[in-house]
Amino acid sequence: MAELHLSLPEDDQKRVSKLPVMDGTLGPSVVDIRSLYAQTGYFTYDPGFTSTASCSSKITYIDGDNGVLLYRGYPIEQLAEKCDFLEVCYLLLNGELPNGAEMKEFVTTISKHVMVHEQLTRFYSGFRRDAHPMAVLVGVVGALSAFYHDGTDVTCREDRYTAAIRLIAKMPNIVAMCHKYSTGMPFIYPKRKLGYAENFMRMMMGDPCDEYVPNPILIRAIDRILILHADHEQNASTSTVRLAGSSGANPYACVAAGIACLWGAAHGGANEAVLNMLEEIGDASNIPEYVAKAKDKNDPFRLMGFGHRVYKNYDPRAKLMRQTCHEVLDELNLHNDRMFKLAMELERIALEDPYFVERKLYPNVDFYSGIVLRALGIPTEMFTAIFALARSVGWIAQWDEMISDPELKIGRPRQLYQGVPQRDVQPISSR
């Protein structure tokens, strides 16, 4: 095993001569610093954990410099082109793509769990009608732990798998009910004979007075959005789920914590922020003014949906989402819609402007997914909830992997304290 030799300041008598270097199958090697404090009395300082590997994982790999995203070794482009979302769910949970018999059994198992407990539907009435769907989603998913607590032993592999199945099966229903509740429309029960994405769209957009007629192109668009957002390595919400789960907490409570983290505009709220930005720009004629504002470091305006913290090149998901975006716009004949014309013109300018090209600020997956969701008639405030629906399988797969890890320890980050040194309390009369 390779080792890193570290020298400390000359006036410090402690030395660390051996820090093991661990190699992964892909990506940079890591320095194992678990013994650092014991040997030296030092911690590391890494705000945001951007240089720290918090875990070992076999699920997802990202190479941001080269625009690579792999689920269990498979490129995201191939999965989005050749698989549906439930195949990807099976892959993330089990490590391999299913064959025909395995897929049939998996779909049957999912279909048995699509209904939610009728008492759970009453939770919605406790929220204001105008509550943000993510606020409702946090509460309702967290409430699943009240229905499935005693029967969920996190140390039991079968119980963990059942929890994963329940979550994947019920999330479309739960998310769709968030939308129906906000609009005053009745909840629509799922149909087991329908596919996953089709069932979700029917529950979201259907009307009990009329038969829902699915459009294959639009259903495929939703399915692709779900695939592209199913997992993304150790991002903020996934790390939140893992940290919550490290204490042995109920898995549904852990996922609710991930949903709360995802809600932030810097994370899952990015595609919602794209639409809000487009509304602010208003018209294609205003784009030059806003592009100039985006280039001005002293101006608070930022172009949302361009560039990515992880991908220093092109977001591999964006190419697929761009293709899907144009398929949807063509199908719905929306290329002349004011908002979509604005988005396409903004895309064109950003791809040609040297300022954006030199900085590799290409449109990312959030830019295109927001446009697609709006074209499908889904309200902007529901965008992040649909992201949560997609990411649920990644969260639960990561949680399951963590719980089964023999090296599992409860999360306990350290800190660099820079507050007031120890002092004595004075009587109130002397303060």
Catalytic residue among 84, 223, 231, 366: 366
For Cα atoms 66, 87, 308, give the angle at the middle one, nearest 5 degrees. Answer: 30
**Token reading at 398:** 């990561």
Dihedral of the alpha carbons of 387, 65, 344, 320, in degrees to the nearest 10: -60
- Our answer to whether residue 232 is catalytic in this structure is no
Residues with Cβ < 8 Å from 239, sequence gap 6 or more?
49, 54
Phi, psi values for residue 149, rounded to 5°: -110, -60
Residue whose pair of structure tokens reads 């294609």 in the numeric block:
284
Structure tokens at 199: 């069932």
Residue type, 16: V
Cα–Cα dist 107/157, whole Å: 20
Q: Which one-letter amino acid corresponds to residue 124?
A: Y
Residue 296: count of CB within 10 angstroms of its CB: 10
157-192 burial code (b ≥16 CB/10 A, e <16): eeebebbbbbbbbbbbbbbbbbbbbbeeeeebebee
Q: Is 164 left (phi over 0), alpha (psi -120 to 50) or beta?
A: alpha
Rounded distance between C-alpha atoms, residue 399 and residue 258, angstroms: 11
DSSP state of 261: H
Chain centroid, CA 342 distance in Å: 27
Among residues 84, 229, 308, 400, which one is catalytic?
308
Question: Which three-class secondary structure state does DSSP give residue 255?
Answer: helix
Q: Where are the beta strands (DSSP E) in 245-322?
A: none
Among candidate residues 182, 243, 204, the one with its CA nearest the CA of residue 389? 204
Phi, psi dihedrals of residue 228, rounded to the nearest 5°: -65, -20
The DSSP code sequence of 111-147 is: HHT-SPPHHHHTTGGGS-TTS-HHHHHHHHHHHHHHH
Residues belonging to the active site: 308, 366
